[in-house]
Chain A
Amino acid sequence: MKLIFEKSVAGRHSDILPKCDVEPVELSARFARTDAPALPEMAEVDVARHYTELNDRVHGVNCGFYPLGSCTMKYNPRIDEDMAALPGFAGVHPLAPDYATEGCREVLETAKKYLCEVSGMDDMTFQPAAGAHGEFTGVLLIKQYHDARGDKKRTKIIVPDSAHGTNPATAAMCGFEVVNIDSAPDGCVDLEALKNALGEDTAGLMLTNPNTVGIFDPNILEITRLVHEAGGLCYYDGANLNAIMGVVRPGDMGFDCVHMNLHKTFATPHGGGGPGAGAVGCKDFLKEFLPRSVVMDGEGRIQVRSFAGNFLVTVRAVTYLLTLGREGIPEASQNAVLNANYLMRAIQGSFDLAFDRTCMHEFVLDLSEYKKETGVSALDVAKSLIDYGMHPPTMYFPLIVHEALMLEPTETESKETLDEAAAIFRKLYELGKTDPEPMHAAPHHAQIGRPDEVGAARHPVLRWQKPEE
């Protein structure tokens, strides 16, 4: 498929613009560019076809099942889109005067009220642009807290080995040393390893709960107590909040600050690079360190992003919260957990479960024995699923399970979809045992076969460059 730049024809254009009805103004030469930008020149019909062609090559939640573990690819209700498209929200200027933004500020206040209720926190910022940015903001709160007390010796952040890669990256970006602790055999935090890692140099702990293998840590209260006893703070990574919203609150588990991926848990289409929103909540004692909008408050306080972050994602989150309400929010989580357990038991008996116990919103298959027996890897199975119109699960994550496939069906899938998915998994399991060869080259019926991932990673071509004339 050609890039849009390669489809450009000099002089071709799309718009018939109305006659200019204001006096033309010459820009000062200081600001005016001398070369025209290299933008594609195309007719509207060709632009429309280009993007339709691209659309044919992707698999979204609206195309079919998308059990990408740890990503919560739930169906996003249309009403959320409708609300975000209201001109009063979509067209608002961040510097508009107060009287013109009352509705927007009400959205932010409502979001704060409900999300503090869901997370068990006391205050919140909506600036962070996505999850990793939220982590960064949250861990900076921890840093500020220790710094403000003159407690300079706290240089380490503890992260379990099952954590998302963004956790150690966040801690390192905030200037902390990362201490990795091994998981216990059940996939939860090893309390002895935690005790050994804790000390006067502990700034905090970063944790998801339920964790990355889909298990709610039964020792969570003891874990946060131990960290607090050592003088550290506890950061809750909201990656897996979809399993527990409205049922149990991070604030009640002992966490001091959290981020929530509003785009995933509270229903904004995501996975294509954004926009997301990583709202960060905290307990009262950390409130003074929250970022504020310099422009809005006129204070010299630090901001992590301008204004109110990706505001329209917050509009969708509020719509979602109001639509589902107090009963609907926990019910969504309960159904997410029910669906995951149903799918796990429906697949069981074919591929091995990494942990054979009741799971939360996701579970992990372990194909290492299967690969030894058949030569068929987790990658081969994932690619084969594409031929059945299903998006592959998350592969090779978490790192503590080799040949991992991680499935998160979410609450929005029907029993029929789950039954069909389980049947496909069982069919592939048998196929790998009897006729594995085609699976090594799958997918066979998709728009794109196996891209050269190694070549792409070793020699990435990241942007189009205008050919020399």
Chain B
Amino acid sequence: MNIPAELKYSTDHEWVRMDGDVAVIGVSDFAQDALGDLVFINLPEVGDAVTAGDAFGDVESVKAVSDLLSPVTGTVCEINEELLDAPEKINEDPYGAWMIKVENIEATEDLMDAAAYEEHCAAEE
């Protein structure tokens, strides 16, 4: 399983990369593997407020629809529109397929580094 060292991770398997003051958010390799082949994604709109621990969108596989939980509180400043037409990119390249960028960050969940996240995944296996 691929867990890049430079990213931070939430317990719900989202990854976060800080680009200056902007948080770039996607789901981990573990998450895409557990979800299975994705066929649909719902993302918020630019300008929407997101809250740490609450859903910012959802993904649908042939098995089920699952909420995407935001690891941060802030305002969506960009979404990856490419994913709307090609959700399979999340399966192919989970760390390249960022979902949203969030600015004006007011709060952040306690995030894990790669080592802690690897343990977290092992515990869930």
Q: Which residues of A contact B (CB under 8 A)?
A: 165, 372, 395-397, 399, 453-454, 457-458
Contacts and interface: CB of A to CB of B under 8 A. Distances in A.
Nearest to B39: A457
Interface string B104-116: 0000000000000
Interface stretch (B12-20, B45-53, B62-70, B74-82): B62-70
Contacts of A165: 65
A458 B64 contact: no
Given A453-B62, A454-B39, 9 more contacts: A395-B63, A397-B64, A399-B64, A399-B66, A457-B40, A457-B60, A457-B62, A458-B39, A458-B88
A454 B64 contact: no
B125 A372 contact: yes
Interface string B75-112: 00000000000011000000000000000000000000
B37 A454 contact: yes
Contacts, number: 20
A454 B62 CA distance: 6
8 contacts: A399-B64, A399-B66, A454-B37, A454-B88, A457-B39, A457-B40, A457-B62, A458-B88
A165 B125 CA distance: 26
Contacts of B65: 165
A404 to B, nearest CB: 10
A378 to B, nearest CB: 9
B63 A396 contact: yes
A403 to B, nearest CB: 10
A165 B63 CA distance: 13
A446 B62 CA distance: 21
A453 B36 CA distance: 12
A397 B62 CA distance: 12
Nearest to B88: A458
A95 to B, nearest CB: 42
Interface string B25-61: 0000000000001011000000000000000000010
A458 B89 CA distance: 12
A396 B60 CA distance: 13
B87 A458 contact: yes
Nearest to B36: A454
What 4 pairs across the A-B complex have the smallest Cβ distances? A457-B39, A454-B37, A396-B63, A453-B62
A165 B60 CA distance: 13
Nearest to B65: A165
A243 B64 CA distance: 26
- Which interface residue of A165, A397, A453 has the most chain B CB atoms within 10 A? A453
Nearest to A460: B39
A395 B36 CA distance: 14
Contacts of A457: 39-40, 60, 62
A454 B37 CA distance: 7
Contacts of B66: 399
Contacts of A396: 63-64
Contacts of B63: 395-396
B120 to A, nearest CB: 16
Contacts of B62: 453-454, 457
A396 B62 CA distance: 10
Contacts of A395: 63
Contacts of B40: 457
A69 to B, nearest CB: 15
B65 to A, nearest CB: 7
Contacts of A454: 37, 39, 62, 88
B63 to A, nearest CB: 4
Nearest to B60: A457
A457 B87 CA distance: 11
B78 to A, nearest CB: 24
Nearest to B40: A457
A397 B64 CA distance: 8
Nearest to A403: B63
A372 B40 CA distance: 27
A122 to B, nearest CB: 36
Contacts of B64: 396-397, 399
Nearest to A368: B125
A6 B64 CA distance: 34
B64 to A, nearest CB: 6
A395 B39 CA distance: 18
A454 B38 CA distance: 8
Contacts of A458: 39, 87-88
Contacts of B125: 372
A179 to B, nearest CB: 11
B31 to A, nearest CB: 13
A399 B87 CA distance: 21
B56 to A, nearest CB: 15
A181 to B, nearest CB: 14
A372 B122 CA distance: 13
The winner among A165, A372, A397, A457 for most chain B CB atoms within 10 A is A457
